[in-house]
Chain A
């Protein structure tokens, strides 16, 4: 399952370095777009530049899964105030 938008604010930036000249930067942000938390977004991205254990074989990647939007209905008391009394 892909990373889904989160209604709570969330930010992550990472940088990694490893063997075989591996360098990787990661970005993952998400949060609500409005105060009532009805709309949320998530952007996930990754850039990798790496050699591997096999000569001349690289493991490079540019990955972006972005601008996912998710809505959430808010069941407030307002909805029920409109119901007929009786």
Chain B
């Protein structure tokens, strides 16, 4: 988008220079008018203009190259830099999970502030989690933005950390994005 904008801006500048040769009325109407109704003066001045190349470069943070993530999708459901997201978010990257050698999702959350994982101790069947003291086991688990509905007693999700690029924990109000749940959730 910005590439197009810049291009058209420069084009307008060039047109202004051409328009300056024309009577005031035509100049005020801008470039479109001038191009549609070429006058003798303009035809004489018309020549091809080569604009300098504009290089636009952007990167997306989908590789977790280290322990520190710079963007997250859980705060806004878009790929937004964490510094621009007004919410407390923790990101456990793939590298961190590998360094901790986690074998369950609850183990991956062991060192996350505000998260109490493995609330029942050793448990390979269910990802038991509390976030800021509220239970997140039944309503707080999401995978790729979609809720993992838990039907309740004696059922649960034992998520495989090897399948996770990262684990993200947004803390604070987020029901406008994620619907009814306990106050805090896990992305």
Residues of chain A whose beta carbon lies under 8 Å from any beta carbon of chain B? 1-4, 6, 26, 28, 44, 46, 52-54, 57, 59, 61, 63, 65, 75, 77, 80, 83, 85-86
Contacts and interface: CB of A to CB of B under 8 A. Distances in A.
A61 B56 CA distance: 45
A3 B19 CA distance: 55
A52 B122 contact: yes
A46 B35 contact: no
Given A1-B144, A1-B164, A1-B167, 11 more contacts: A1-B168, A1-B187, A2-B165, A4-B165, A44-B163, A46-B160, A65-B163, A80-B3, A86-B11, A86-B15, A86-B31
Contact of A80 (B7, B15, B124): B7
A1 B165 CA distance: 6
A76 to B, nearest CB: 11
B162 interface: yes
Contacts of B11: 86
Contacts of A59: 124
A2 B162 contact: no
B101 to A, nearest CB: 9
Residue of A1, A61, A75, A80 with highest tally of chain B CB at under 10 A: A1
A1 B124 CA distance: 20
B91 to A, nearest CB: 9
Interface string B41-83: 0000000100001001000001100000000010000000000
A38 B110 CA distance: 38
B122 A1 contact: no
Contact of B62 (A4, A77, A85): A4
Residue of B3, B143, B160 with highest tally of chain A CB at under 10 A: B160
B185 interface: no
A18 B53 CA distance: 57
Nearest to B161: A46
In the A-B complex, the 10 residue pairs with the smallest Cβ-Cβ separation, listed nearest first, are: A59-B124, A3-B165, A63-B160, A1-B165, A65-B163, A46-B162, A1-B166, A2-B144, A44-B163, A4-B62
